Amino acid sequence: EAGVAQSPRYKIIEKRQSVAFWCNPISGHATLYWYQQILGQGPKLLIQFQNNGVVDDSQLPKDRFSAERLKGVDSTLKIQPAKLEDSAVYLCASSLVAEAFFGQGTRLTVV
Amino acid sequence: AQKVTQAQTEISVVEKEDVTLDCVYETRDTTYYLFWYKQPPSGELVFLIRRNSFDEQNEISGRYSWNFQKSTSSFNFTITASQVVDSAVYFCALSEWETSGSRLTFGEGTQLTVNP
């Protein structure tokens, strides 16, 4: 079974630029999550989708972050404009019932 | 609000030693799920175990064992006869019952280094 796919693996951008990350969940998993993991910390939930609807985006900085999950499968997370403090690993996860399965993440460096 | 505390930031052991990673949690919910994940240098979070709050039986899986004590809000993880491949960051996590255990609140992680 294929795991959660994310791209790109690494991205370096200058502050005030925009960036987008892509996630393809495990086939059949209705729930998809985006987490932000700052170096040395545990992941923090940004947004949760159930199919193509948002379940929880209370932790998403909506002035600069946006996410969508068209057709209830793939998802994209966008940051515009990026700030230095957005440097982190962005992890996508999906779940069918309980356990969340994670991708390898996208490491974003904002300079 | 939910909170997970992993007081041990870093642990270093020599191969074949036993090591216990501590996890203490806070929640107002009476039912919830607890998890442990492993994050090797490659960055992917690897699921290790899920326990629900009404099942306090300890669990053993090979060299891994978990001790859940609801009375002390702890869910500790022990690796027996550690190996170099166990070197990773280990995260304890908590989730609400209503989300079927999948919206996770993580601790800050414990970096385990197993030296040969």
AA letter at B26 = E
Q: Is A103 on the interface with B (CB under 8 A)?
A: yes
Q: Are strands B3-5 and B24-26 parallel, antiparallel or unpaired?
A: antiparallel
Could you tell me if A65 and A77 are in contact, meaning their C-beta atoms sit under 8 angstroms apart?
yes
- CB contact under 8 Å between B45 and A93, yes or no, is yes
Write out residues in chain B with pLDDT < 50, as ranges. 101
Range in A22-26, A50-54, A105-109, B72-76 with the lowest mean pLDDT: A50-54
**What is the rounded distance in angstroms from the CA atom of residue A20 to the CA atom of residue B18?**
43
* β strands within chain B, DSSP E: 3-5, 10-14, 19-21, 24-26, 32-39, 46-52, 59-61, 64-69, 74-79, 88-96, 104-106, 110-115
Would you state the pLDDT for residue A33?
95
B109: left (phi over 0), alpha (psi -120 to 50) or beta: left
- Residue B26 has a pLDDT of 95
Contact criterion met (CB < 8 Å) for A42 and B47? no
Residues of A in contact with B101 (CB under 8 A): 98-99
**Residue A47 clears pLDDT 70, i.e. is over it:** yes
Does residue A52 carry a pLDDT above 90?
Answer: no
Is residue A48 a contact partner of residue A32, using CB atoms and an 8 Å limit? Answer: yes
Q: For residue B72, give how far its alpha carbon lies from the nearest alpha carbon of chain A (Å).
A: 22
Give the tens place of pLDDT for each residue, A61-109. 999 999 999 888 999 999 999 999 999 999 999 988 778 899 999 999 9
Per-residue b/e over A27-54, b at no fewer than 16 CB within 10 Å? eebebbbbbbbeeeebbebbbbbeeeee
Q: What is the pLDDT of residues B38-64, one digit of tens each?
A: 999 888 899 999 888 888 888 888 999
DSSP string, A39-58: TTS--EEEEEEETTEEEE-T
Q: Which of A104, A80, A98 is nearest to A7 (CA)?
A: A104
Q: For residue B65, give Cα distances in angstroms to A43, A101, B11, B104.
A: 24, 21, 17, 21
